[in-house]
């Protein structure tokens, strides 16, 4: 069974440029998560989707970050414009959506903002 797929794996951009990350969850997983992982820290949730609905986006900096999951399958996370402090690893995870289920993580996208 294929795992969570993310692309690109690495991205280098200059500040003030836009950037987008793509995630394809495990087939059949209704819940999709985007996490941010800064160097030396554990992942922190940015947004959670149940199917196509964003049910928890309280930690998403909405002035520059946006996300979508139009058909309830794959998702895109966008930053516009990027700032130096956005350099981090952006992780996507998915789960079946039951009450006490396990989250499975993708390989992440390492973003460097110059």
Partner 1 sequence: AQSVSQHNHHVILSEAASLELGCNYSYGGTVNLFWYVQYPGQHLQLLLKYFSGDPLVKGIKGFEAEFIKSKFSFNLRKPSVQWSDTAEYFCAVRSSYKLIFGSGTRLLVRP
- Reading the block at residue 112, the tokens are 């460097």
Minimal distance, residue 66 CB to partner 1, in Å: 19
DSSP structure class, residue 100: T
Alpha-carbon distances, residue 56 vs 29, 31, 33, 39, 85 (angstroms): 17, 11, 9, 24, 23
Query: Closer CB to partner 1, residue 81 or residue 104?
Result: 104
Which among 77, 92, 98 has a CA at the least distance from the CA of 30?
98
* Partner residues linked to 23 by β-bridges: 6, 75
Minimal distance, residue 100 CB to partner 1, in Å: 5
Query: Closer CB to partner 1, residue 25 or residue 43?
Result: 43
Q: Do 62 and 80 meet the contact criterion of CB atoms below 8 Å apart?
A: no
Minimal distance, residue 97 CB to partner 1, in Å: 9
Minimal distance, residue 89 CB to partner 1, in Å: 10
Query: Closer CB to partner 1, residue 22 or residue 104?
Result: 104
Instruction: Give the footprint of partner 1 on this chain (CB under 8 A).
Output: 3-4, 31, 33, 35, 40-45, 48, 56, 91, 100, 102-108
């Amino acid at each position: 069974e294929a795992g969570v797929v993310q692309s690109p794996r690495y991205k280098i951009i200059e500040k003030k440029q836009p950037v987008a990350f793509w995630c394809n969850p495990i087939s059949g997983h209704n819940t999709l998560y985007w996490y941010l992982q800064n160097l030396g820290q554990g992942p922190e949730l940015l947004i959670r989707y149940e199917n196509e609905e964003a049910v928890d986006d309280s930690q998403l900096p909405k002035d520059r970050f946006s996300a979508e999951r139009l058909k309830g399958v794959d998702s895109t996370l966008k930053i516009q414009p990027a700032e130096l402090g956005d350099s981090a690893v952006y992780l996507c995870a998915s789960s079946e959506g039951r009450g006490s289920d396990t989250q499975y993580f993708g390989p992440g996208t390492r973003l460097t903002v110059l």
